[in-house]
Amino acid sequence: MTHTGGGNEPAAAAQRGRIAMRRSFRLDADACTHVGRRRQHNEDAFLLTEHLVAVADGLGGHTGGDLASAIAVESLHSSNAGADPESLRDAYAATHRDVQERAAEDPQLAEMCTTMCALALDPAGTVVLANVGDSRIYRCSDNRMTQVTWDHNWENEYMRMGLSAAAARRMEGAGSLSRVIGAFPEPCEVDIWSFDAAEGDRYLLASDGLTRELPDHEIAALLAAGTPPATAAGRLVNEANDRGGNDNITVIVADIAVAAPRRLP
C-alpha cells in the first residue's frame, strides 16, 4: 500500500490552524411609534437601518416640530455616519444645519427644533451612542439596565454647575431644554459614548413620551422579559398609553447579536 501525503501533513495541519474565524456583530432592532392619547399629531420620527438607528422628538408647541424631526433623521441617514465619535459629531452638525436652513425658508418655522438620540454599530465590535436633548438611551447588560444619556435641560445643567437639586429646580426655565437640533444659531453640542459590542446586550432609544409615563424599574422589567425587539417595543408603547399617553411615544429596541462568522483572509 502506498502512503500518500506523509511529508505534507505538518504543513497541512499548520494551514488548517491558520483558518480562523472573525467574529462579527449585527443589530436585531425594531421600532414602535404612537401619537399618544392627548396629541393630534405625531412629532416624533425614527430611523431604522442595518447599523444605524435613531429617535427624534420634535418639540411640542413649536411650529414645525414634526418637520424638524423628519429632517433630522433623514439628514442622519444621508450622512452615512459610521460607528466612530467624529463621524457622528459631523453628522449631527450637518443635521443641525439642515434643520436651520429649512427653518430660514419660512418665518413661521423660525423656532423649529428637535431632540435626537442615535446608536451606530461597527460590526467589528463597537457600539457608539450620540445624544442631543431629552430623548434617552438605556443599556441592558449583565441583567442590569442603566441610563446612558442625561437629559439636556437647564435643571440638570445647573446641577452640573454645582447647584443642589432643589436649587436647580427652582431656577427660572429649569425644565426647558438646554440643547436641541435647530433653533439655536451655534452648532449643537453632542454627547458621545462608546461601548464594546457584546452579544445579548440590549439598547433602548426612546422619546420622553415613554420616560415621562413609566419609571425606570418598569421599563427594565419590560426589556428583560426575553421578548423579541418588536414585541418589547410594542409593549412599552402600549404601557405608556395605558398610563396616560400624554405625549407622542417612540421607542427602538436594539439587540446586539453575533452575525454569521467569516473566515479571516
For the whole model, what pTM was predicted? 0.88
Cα radius of gyration rounded to whole Å, the chain:
22
CA angle, residues 70, 34, 184, in degrees to nearest 5: 35
Kindly report the length of the chain. Answer: 265
Query: What local confidence, expressed as pLDDT, does residue 188 receive?
Result: 83
Per-residue pLDDT of the chain (265 residues; tens, 9 = 90+): 333 344 444 444 444 444 455 689 999 999 999 999 999 899 999 999 999 999 999 996 667 999 999 999 999 999 999 999 999 999 999 999 999 999 999 988 988 999 999 999 999 999 999 999 999 999 999 999 999 999 998 787 777 888 888 887 888 777 788 899 998 777 789 999 999 999 999 999 999 999 999 999 999 999 987 899 999 999 999 999 999 999 999 999 999 999 876 555 5
Which three-class secondary structure state does DSSP give residue 100? helix
Tell me the C-alpha distance between 8 and 171, whole Å.
80
Tell me the C-alpha distance between 237 and 229, whole Å.
12
Tell me the C-alpha distance between 157 and 178, whole Å.
8
Tell me the C-alpha distance between 147 and 80, whole Å.
26
Tell me the C-alpha distance between 29 and 53, whole Å.
8
Query: What local confidence, expressed as pLDDT, does residue 7 receive?
Result: 45
Block residue for cell numbers 416624533:
44
Tell me the C-alpha distance between 234 and 225, whole Å.
13
